[in-house]
Amino acid sequence: MSAQTLADLSRPLTLLRLIVSEHPGLAAPTVAVSPLYPERLTLSFHDDFPGFEAWRQALKIAPEDVSYRVQGGRRTGVLDVHAAYGGADIRLIGFADLPAAGEPREGEEATP
């Protein structure tokens, strides 16, 4: 069912307000609420797996519920989880660049 009015999006919008009041120190995500999924609040973390993880822990989402995949020609890692929280469906999705084969990770030195 698609939302027809702003009031139809009240659950995810109320959830966002609740999370902001309970966890004001968490990293700011990209926030999406859509009339296509009127019960869902989507929070995206671009180039920020630590931000994703902080939110997952704060919302008490089990780590085993998180899926991992690689996209973009094996250059982007993606963490993704859906959970029920505060009367709505919440989706956390995190993206991070992956080093190419043989390329050092951030903070590591290249080996000859």
Q: How confident is the model at residue 106 (pLDDT cuts 50, 70, 90)?
A: low
How far is CA 90 from each of CA 56, 60, 84, 87, 110, rounded to the nearest angstrom? 11, 12, 6, 9, 39
- Amino acid (one-letter) located at 97: D
What's the angle, vertex CA 11, arms to CA 6 and CA 15, rounded to 5?
120
**For 19-76, how does the pLDDT look when each residue is reduced to its tens digit (9 = 90+)?**
999 999 999 999 999 999 999 999 999 988 999 999 999 999 999 999 998 886 667 8
62, 111 Cβ separation under 8 angstroms:
no
The DSSP bridge pattern shows strands 30-34 and 88-97 to be unpaired
